[in-house]
Amino acid sequence: MKRIVYIILVVIFNMSCSQSNQSADINIEKKANDLIKETSPYLLQHAYNPVNWKAWNNESLELAKVENKLIVISVGYSACHWCHVMEEESFENDSIAKLMNENFINIKVDREERPDVDQVYMNAVQLMTGSGGWPLNCIALPDGRPVFGGTYFTKKQWSKILKDMSKLYKDDPEKVIAFAEQLTEGVKKSDLITINKEEIQFNPLAMKTMVKQWRTSLDFKNGGREKAPKFPMPSNLNILLRYSFQYENEQIQNYVINTLSKMANGGLYDQIGGGFSRYSVDERWHVPHFEKMLYDNAQLVSLYSKAYQLTKNEDFKKVVIETIDFIEKELTQRDGAFYSSLDADSYNADGELEEGMFYTWTSEELKEILKSDYSLFKSYYNINATGKWEKGQYILYKTKTDVEFSKSNNLELLELETKILSWKNTLYKVRSSRNRPRTDDKILTSWNALMQKAYIDAYRVFGNSSYLEKAIKNASFIKENQINADGSMFHNFKNGKSTIAGFSEDYAHAIAAFIELYQATFNEEWLNSAKQLADYSIQHFLNKESSMFYFTSDKEENLIARKTEVYDDVIPSSNSVLAESLFKLGHYYSNKEYSDLAKQMLSNMNEDIEESPSSYSNWLVLYLNYSNPFYEVGISGDNAQDKLKELDQSYLPNVLISGAKAKSELPLLQNKYIEGETYVYVCVNGTCKMPVTSTEKALSQILK
């Protein structure tokens, strides 16, 4: 495969005919292309490009076959800075558009709307180049099989690629087709999972070994992974937090706390408006890539809530409250659904899109706004060489805790906190008058479920009833709009209309969120909904040969390959989330099919997990459930909710909770109701210890 890749790259970049100068730009009157009919904000951003863009659909793909043209498949998303750069340099250029329109069928794809398309062509580019990213630009045969690809290209590079590929296909199509056959076979085989028929003993010592191996890639000074860029990776931090607790590993726990503190103090976190950017370009979390994604902020709300539950660190509580405030102000629709993201770019005074302009400050601005408080503010947020970015702009960046800063500046802590709040309110008002970043207002089922779960986690830790109300409102939105009568789901919602058949990620995250909502409310409607979605997933997504779930349903027309998502990246993989939920549903319903399937899925992944634990961090949640003590807690009686609130004061990652105020037919609660009493039952695999009436005694049975 590598040899074939090398040959075609050499051919493309060394053909002598490709060295001619570009023709002069041709002025074409600006008019809309086919994307004007779409609802995706990303596709609509390209609707007035001179490139004759089409959306990914059967008509576009059929046209390529009829005209026997190569396809340009360009994938990106609304908040992507480099996607905007390539659009400005190449896709808005008339000479580039002429090349593309004459020689290719050009298809624009919103990766968030169509993660199935993105997966296939990202996989192809990774096989060809060893890396990937967005914008993703792939050239494919008329039947969709990829032949060339990469990420961002300059105008000069892209022009050369277009000329060389179109000439190569016209002059020597057999060579291109042969390469496409090899590459497509590689895409199909790249994520094949074979069933593990051996009995695996998941044990606590193996977990220790995996974390010891993982430690070598951790940055104990700055937090996160070693080297830049740095992504928050909530799934990684979540399992390490749990590991540190269950294994009483102070060093790992300090690492997680340090990482969370450094992220919250850095430019990655919006110090004025709350919420996190997608990643930091440097090692110390100072300079962010400024787009704000719903999925990052959802998972980080959950993570900081759990970290507070364990440590009682008040800074973590502030982060949760401020991040939820950001979500409610910027990414929430009136019906309880959540938008997808805020752009990295906003319009500057000259009417040009510029990265980060909404969030950064000059020292002159700050002096004018803060007046006598400027000196203290400057010291607190490092308006100096430490916090300087570019073009005289500063990114607010904390290097001391509030306690440390108040002591070094002879201030009472309360006085400092009052000043900080005043600064934030003042600067927020000023910032609100700027051109704000564009909002990607499409609503994705999977990301909404992650945010729903975030509200549930925050509610259980902090007891704010409005958080639970928002979670229920979102769950109701998903049930009413995104789930059909036959149990199938939609992936997307925009302009009052649900579209695009759901992917396994939508089912996985909705199931997980509904299970969590049941644990917070004891309303069995949500648990039953989770079960129904799980049953549909098994029927239409499960590969019975491997016991893993495909990303696409068997009811949909599939791409050149039907992919299986197993890597836990910035979002946990659909298979790891489904396996964990099947484990829980197996306990709730005493369902051996669910339990056996969850264990088989983990067994299939065991070798890969041991080899690279950080790549399978959410799988390790399930691994710990099997290898270490795991408890079912049933609460039965009139005061079940009060007992739950008491239990929620403690960090209990290895506990599954069920409860009811009256009799329940759930296996975990059957025959446990005694009128006039409220009992807590601590059980392991259905076998219960003596029931107790106080949560203190229940905790002693768990935390022994």
Percent of the chain whose pLDDT exceeds 70: 96
Residue 10: pLDDT above 80?
no
**Structural tokens at position 637:** 């009686």
pLDDT band at residue 191 using 50, 70 and 90 as cut-offs: confident
Map residue 43 onto helix, strand or coil: helix
The reported pLDDT for the residue numbered 350 is 83
Whether residue 569 is predicted with pLDDT greater than 70 in this model: the reply is yes
Closest CA to 334 of 479, 164, 474: 474
Range with the lowest mean pLDDT among 46-55, 167-176, 368-377? 167-176
- Per-residue pLDDT averaged across 285-302, rounded? 97
- Report CA 609 to chain centroid distance, whole Å: 20
Q: What is the mean pLDDT of residues 469-495?
A: 97
pLDDT per residue as tens digits for the range 499-531: 999 999 999 999 999 999 999 999 999 999 999
**Among the listed residues 239, 270, 152, the one whose alpha carbon sits nearest the alpha carbon of residue 620:** 239
Q: How far apart are CA 147 and CA 162, in angstroms?
A: 12
Q: Is 501 helix (H, G, I), strand (E, B) or coil?
A: strand
Q: What integer pLDDT is reported at residue 161 of this predicted model?
A: 93
| 204-344+440-627 CATH | 1.50.10.10
User: At a CB cut-off of 8 Å and minimum separation 6, what does 115 contact?
Assistant: 503, 505, 551
Residue 597: how many CA atoms within 13 Å on its side-chain side? 30
CA–CA distance, 103 with 275 (Å, rounded to integer):
44
pLDDT for 196 = 87
Q: What does the CA dihedral 560, 565, 566, 567 come to, rounded to 10 degrees?
A: 100
Contact 281, 260 (CB under 8 A): no
Q: Residue 219: its pLDDT value, please?
A: 97
From 15, 85, 91, select the one nearest 49 (Cα to Cα): 91
Cα 387 from Cα 72, distance rounded (Å): 41
How many whole angstroms separate alpha carbon 510 and alpha carbon 538? 15
C-alpha to C-alpha distances, 348 to 84, 206, 355, nearest whole angstrom: 15, 54, 9
Q: Averaged over 296-318, what is the pLDDT?
A: 98
Q: Nearest CA to 326 among 341, 346, 345? A: 341
Spatial neighbors of 496 by CB under 8 A, at least 6 apart, are none
Beta bridge partners of 679: 636
Q: Give the pLDDT band of residue 22 (cuts 50, 70, 90).
A: very low
In this structure, what token pair is assigned to residue 527?
């648990």
Spatial distance between the Cα atoms of 355 and 437, rounded to a whole number of angstroms: 9
pLDDT at position 18:
31
- Within 8 A by CB and 6+ apart from 704, the residues are none
Q: What's the pLDDT tens digit per position in 576-631?
A: 999 999 999 999 999 999 999 999 999 999 999 999 999 999 999 999 999 999 99
Mean pLDDT, to the nearest integer, of 437-442? 95
pLDDT at residue 29, rounded to an integer: 59
- Burial class for 592, CB neighbours closer than 10 Å (0-12, 13-18, 19+): exposed
State yes or no: pLDDT of 132 exceeds 90: no
Angle between helices 204-215 and 619-627 (to 10 degrees): 140
pLDDT score, position 60: 94
Instruction: Flag the least confident range among 179-188, 421-430, 443-452, 514-523.
Output: 179-188
Mean of the per-residue pLDDT values for the chain? 93
- Check whether 49 has a pLDDT greater than 50: yes
- For position 173, what pLDDT does the model report? 92
Pair 46, 74: CB distance under 8 Å = no
Q: Alpha-carbon Rg of the chain, whole angstroms?
A: 27
186 against 211, higher pLDDT = 211
Model pLDDT, residue 686 = 85
Mean pLDDT for 363-389 is: 96
Under the banding of pLDDT at 50, 70 and 90, the label for residue 192 is confident
- Yes or no: say if 344 and 288 are a contact pair by the CB < 8 Å rule: no
> What would the pLDDT profile of 235-245 be if each residue is shown by its tens digit?
999 999 999 99
Q: What is the pLDDT of residue 364?
A: 97
Backbone angles phi, psi at 543, to 5 degrees: -85, 105
Give the domain ranges of the chain: 2-189, 204-344+440-627, 359-433, 631-702
Residues near 402 by Cβ (< 8 Å), separated by ≥ 6? 315, 413, 416, 417, 420
Confidence of residue 138 (pLDDT cuts 50, 70, 90): very high
Distance CA 62, CA 141 (A): 12
pLDDT in tens, 617-666: 999 999 999 999 999 999 999 999 999 999 999 999 999 999 999 999 99
Q: What percent of the chain has pLDDT over 90?
A: 86
Q: Are 437 and 343 spatial neighbours (Cβ–Cβ below 8 Å)? A: yes
Q: Looking at 15-19, 70-74, 345-349, 489-493, which range is the least confident one? A: 15-19
Residue range 482-503: mean pLDDT, rounded: 96
Burial tier of 11 (Cβ tally within 10 Å: 0-12, 13-18, 19+): middle
pLDDT at 17: 33
Distances (CA, A) of 352 to 29, 84, 347: 21, 11, 5
Helix (H/G/I), strand (E/B), else coil: 86: helix
Beta partners for 692? 680
- The full DSSP string for 347-362 is E-TTS-EEETTTT-B-
What's phi and psi for 55, nearest 5 deg? -85, 165
Burial of 433 (0-12, 13-18, 19+ CB in 10 A): exposed
Check whether 550 has a pLDDT greater than 60.
yes
What is the per-residue pLDDT for 28? Answer: 45
Predicted pLDDT of residue 489: 98
> Are 654 and 246 a contacting pair, CB within 8 Å?
yes
pTM: 0.92
Mean pLDDT in residue range 10-17: 37
At 278 the three-state DSSP class reads coil
- Name the fold adopted by 2-189: Glutaredoxin (3.40.30)
Q: With contact defined as beta carbons under 8 Å apart, do 395 and 272 qualify?
A: no
Question: Which pLDDT belongs to residue 6?
Answer: 42
Classify the C-alpha dihedral 288-291-297-298 as positive or negative.
negative
pLDDT at position 14? 37
The residue to which tokens 């908040």 are assigned: 79
